């Protein structure tokens, strides 16, 4: 497949691995966080950890929107869906995420709530147009990548005067989460001391570009290399990060030039700016309350904001105490550190969001059998 096979070539991967081994100073140690769950999956799927010298370590980050959505927000969505004459539309990934009291959106649907899986925000809009007697709420999640299509749906609903359409907005922002990790990690966890550089997100960066990561380099002295999702992309980004560290540089570099422009996607950013405004704080599973890290509908689109329309209230809820998702999302633990991993918790019987989501670290480690990474880390 063009633009995929070239970046999965085993011979080239071994050559890049040899370059990493040559350029990594044996007297130094290198710890890079891959922020994005897409990178975590590529790393697990292609066995990239096995190609790295022992002193080059990758730390999983919180870049999985389903994983970081706190249970309280899913509980709120379920309460909303239980209203008669209301239809909740959402992406399939969220359906099996465990909520409080043994519930999930899937179980709420089985119990009679009208919850429908859609493939895009515009599918939800079409349902609202076709069923004017029902309140149709789109449960929107995702990083900067999925915010523009949600914004477009809201703008179209306003233009078409679709008064029965609204959005329960859970979009989150990447740079504030990176700042939070560098500023606020508990002692001993993957914060400023542990993270020497970031493998920057691919899809998010196609929207926001490279400039929003500049604070990592300028304020914290941490390099960022934006990377594509193929194995050679990730490995090349690791070479670029090692070079920056060795040369005492800390810059934002773009390995994914075939898709990411320095300024990102202007039209997509304009959609976001038109429809959303930042929340003062948003709760992330694992990270806690992160300042200015979430989006809500701007005042001029308040009529399409489900939280305002239905007077929704945030009721914080506790994670399963045995689940280590929080620590995994902070980069403090690996999936195999959780005693439920692969025993009580599997993709068929998920106990935490990290095992449900296609971008979750636990799902990645389980799917690709990366159980021995714990041994590597301990060595
Ligand atoms: S294995 Fe399951 S219970 Fe353990 S951290 Fe991962 S999702 Fe949570």
* Concatenated DSSP letters of 155-166: HHHHHTT-TTEE
Q: Closest Cα to atom 6, ligand 1: which residue?
A: 362
What is the CB neighbour count within 10 angstroms for residue 131? Answer: 14
pLDDT of residue 369: 80
On whether the CB atoms of residues 283 and 289 are closer than 8 A, the answer is yes
Q: What is the pTM (predicted TM-score) of this model?
A: 0.93
Q: Residue 94 has which token pair?
A: 């969220």
pLDDT at residue 166 in the model: 98
As a whole number of angstroms, the distance between CA 37 and CA 229 comes to 10
Name the more confident of 263 and 358. Answer: 263
Any atom of ligand 1 within 6 Å of the Cβ of 354: yes
Residue 377: its pLDDT value, please? 52
User: Residue 368 half-sphere exposure, CB side, CA atoms within 13 Å?
Assistant: 21
**CB-CB contact of 234 with 290 (8 Å):** no
CA-based nearest residue to 139, from 176, 94, 175, 195: 94
Instruction: Report residue 142 as tokens.
Output: 């995702």
Q: What angle do CA 52, 57, 63 make, to 5 degrees?
A: 115
pLDDT of residue 378: 43
In terms of Cα–Cα distance, which of 220, 217, 276, 272 is closest to 244?
217
Task: Residue 94: count other Cβ atoms within 10 Å of its Cβ.
Answer: 24
Q: What is the pLDDT of residues 49-90, one digit of tens each?
A: 999 999 999 999 999 999 999 999 999 999 999 999 999 999
Mean pLDDT, the chain, rounded, equals: 93
- The answer to whether residues 287 and 295 touch, using CB atoms and an 8 Å cutoff, is no
Confidence category of residue 48, pLDDT binned at 50, 70, 90: very high
What distance in angstroms lies between residue 351's CA and the mean position of ligand 1's atoms? 6
d(CA 377, CA 191): 17
Instruction: Please tell me the residue having the least CA distance from ligand 1 atom 7.
Output: 352
Residue with tokens 């927000």: 73
> How far is ligand 1, taken at its centre, from the CA of residue 189, in Å?
18
- All residues at 6 or more sequence positions from 240 whose CB lies less than 8 Å from its CB, including other chains: 225, 253, 255
Could you tell me the distance, in angstroms and rounded to a whole number, from the CA of residue 59 to the centre of ligand 1? 17
* Contact criterion met (CB below 8 Å) for 284 and 293: yes
* Ligand 1 pocket, residue 351 CB under 6 Å: yes
Q: Is 286 in the pocket of ligand 1 (CB under 6 A)?
A: no
Instruction: Report residue 316's pLDDT band, with 50, 70 and 90 as the boundaries.
Output: confident
Structure tokens at 32: 């890079």
**Ligand 1 contacts CB of residue 325 (under 6 A):** yes
The tokens 């990366």 sit on which residue?
Answer: 370
Enumerate residues 6+ apart whose C-beta is below 8 A from 196. Answer: 30, 31, 32, 222, 223, 241, 245
Mean pLDDT computed over 308-326: 92
């Amino acid at each position: 497949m063009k633009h995929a096979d070239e970046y999965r070539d085993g011979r080239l991967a071994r050559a890049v691995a040899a370059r990493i081994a040559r350029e990594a100073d044996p007297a130094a140690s290198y710890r890079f966080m891959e922020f994005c769950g897409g990178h975590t999956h590529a790393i697990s799927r292609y066995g990239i950890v096995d190609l790295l010298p022992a002193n080059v370590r990758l730390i999983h980050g919180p870049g999985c929107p389903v994983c970081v959505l706190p249970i309280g927000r899913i509980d709120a969505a379920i309460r909303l869906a239980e209203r008669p004459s209301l239809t909740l539309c959402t992406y399939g990934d969220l359906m099996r995420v465990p909520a409080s009291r043994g519930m999930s959106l899937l179980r709420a649907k089985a119990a009679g709530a009208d919850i429908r899986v859609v493939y895009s925000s515009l599918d939800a809009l079409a349902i609202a147009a076709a069923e004017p007697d029902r309140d149709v709420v789109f449960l929107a999640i995702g990083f900067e990548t999925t915010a523009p299509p949600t914004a477009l749906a809201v703008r179209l609903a306003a233009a078409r005067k679709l008064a029965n359409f609204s959005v329960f907005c859970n979009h989150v922002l990447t740079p504030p989460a990176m700042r939070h990790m560098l500023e606020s990690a508990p002692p001993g966890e993957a914060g400023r001391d542990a993270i020497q550089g970031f493998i920057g997100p691919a899809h998010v960066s196609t929207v926001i570009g490279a400039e929003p990561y500049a604070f990592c380099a300028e304020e914290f002295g941490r390099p960022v290399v934006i990377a594509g999702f193929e194995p050679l992309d990730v490995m090349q980004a690791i070479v670029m990060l090692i070079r920056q560290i060795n040369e005492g540089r800390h810059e934002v570099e773009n390995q994914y030039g075939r898709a990411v422009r320095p300024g990102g996607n202007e039209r997509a950013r304009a959609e976001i700016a038109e429809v959303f405004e930042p929340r003062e704080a948003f709760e992330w599973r694992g990270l806690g309350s992160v300042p200015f890290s979430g989006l809500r509908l701007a005042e001029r689109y308040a009529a399409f904001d489900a939280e305002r329309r239905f007077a929704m209230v945030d009721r914080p809820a506790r994670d399963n105490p045995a689940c280590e998702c929080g620590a995994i999302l902070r980069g403090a633990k690996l999936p195999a550190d959780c005693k439920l991993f692969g025993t009580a918790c599997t993709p068929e019987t998920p106990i935490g969001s990290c095992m449900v989501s296609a971008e979750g670290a636990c799902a990645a480690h389980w799917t690709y059998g990366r159980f021995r990474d714990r041994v590597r880390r301990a060595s």
